[in-house]
Amino acid sequence: MLKSVFFWIGFSIPLTTTGNLGMSHARTPLIAGNWKMYKKIGEGVDLVRQLTPQVAGVSKAEIVVCPTFTALQAVGQAVQGTNIALGAQNCYLKAEGAFTGEISPQMLLDAGCTWTIIGHSERRQIFHENDKLLNQKLRFALESGLKVMFCIGETLEERENGNMDDILERQVHEGLSGLNEADFGRLAIAYEPVWAIGTGVTATPEQAEDAHAFVRGLIGEHFHQAIAEALRIQYGGSVKPDNAAELIAKQNVDGFLVGGASLKADSFAAIVKAGAGQ
């Protein structure tokens, strides 16, 4: 009983902060660029050199860029001392060993990362990563000290068949299994409907809000209401400068995971500013 009272107090603090668009936004927006398999080292460094001055004044959002592995260190050096953090796009579930082609959270931390993405739909679909594997990766990344953007989302077929809720519930339940309350402090969920990724078809603000509210409800059910309230849920899927403001205006949309539009400094900066309400 005492533990649960303490627990509530611990999680009630971030809920009092306010944020963007002059509205009460309970959680600091998290806006990340997933560069996917784009940008060689020099191109990545050029991109963040252009981006840095454009977002230097942004104080009401957390900004992350996630380059390819080969560009991490150079981009990390280029963003040192700025308000842009470095993230990776994936990592393995061991610190080291005979795992040809893989990279560990320890190596990412060594390269300057504070964040990683885990469970992107491209990893799930193209590389057949399942919920169990992703849960192991997530837990090891968190235990190693990284912060994680954990991706979930349904395909068009799943949505049209009315299976969206079941899919999201499975991904949340199995993907986040075994996490403790401290882990949630270093976790964000990225809701990325597969049908909206790279297609130019963005979820409407209402579709995003519905899915985010549903996911927040699941976290409350499976874990704790206060954890659910504090957790940031990003939207990803064809986010552009001209739809970012209406998406972030929704109560349960706490930032973005941006693909294509993060590859140009001007468009990513515009999304960051819209997301921050600045």
| Active-site residue set | 120, 192
Burial class (CB in 10 A: 0-12, 13-18, 19+), 243: buried
**Residue 237 binds to ligand 13P (criterion: CB under 6 A):** yes
Q: Considering the complex, what minimum distance in angstroms separates the CB of residue 88 from ligand 13P? A: 13
**Residues in 120-159 that interact with ligand 13P by CB under 6 A:** 120
Q: Which of 197, 211, 215, 228 binds ligand 13P (CB under 6 A)?
A: 197
**Residue 119 binds to ligand 13P (criterion: CB under 6 A):** no
Q: Which of 133, 230, 239, 269 binds ligand 13P (CB under 6 A)?
A: 239
**Residue 244 binds to ligand 13P (criterion: CB under 6 A):** no
In sequence order, what E strands does 27-92 have? 30-34, 62-66, 84-88
Q: Considering the complex, what minimum distance in angstroms separates the CB of residue 125 from ligand 13P? A: 11
**Residue 243 binds to ligand 13P (criterion: CB under 6 A):** no
**Residue 34 binds to ligand 13P (criterion: CB under 6 A):** yes
Residue 119: which of 92, 152, 87, 146 has the closest Cα?
Answer: 152
First to last CA, the chain: 42
Stretch that binds ligand 13P, among 49-57, 139-147, 231-239, 269-277 (CB under 6 A): 231-239
Closest to ligand 13P by CB, 147 or 227: 147
Residue nearest to ligand 13P (CB): 259
Q: What are phi and psi of 28, to 5 degrees?
A: -65, 125
Stretch that binds ligand 13P, among 5-13, 53-61, 235-243, 264-272 (CB under 6 A): 235-243
**Residues in 246-275 that interact with ligand 13P by CB under 6 A:** 257-261
Distances (CA, A) of 199 to 6, 77, 92, 168, 169: 45, 33, 29, 21, 24
Number of residues that bind ligand 13P (CB under 6 A): 14
Q: What are phi and psi of 64, to 5 degrees?
A: -135, 140
Burial class (CB in 10 A: 0-12, 13-18, 19+), 102: middle
**Residue 192 binds to ligand 13P (criterion: CB under 6 A):** yes
Distance from C-alpha of 67 to C-alpha of 87, rounded to nearest angstrom: 7
Number of H helices, E strands in the chain: 13, 8
Where does residue 38 fall: left (phi above 0), alpha (psi -120 to 50 degrees), or beta otherwise? beta
Residues binding ligand 13P (CB under 6 A): 34, 120, 192, 197-198, 236-239, 257-261
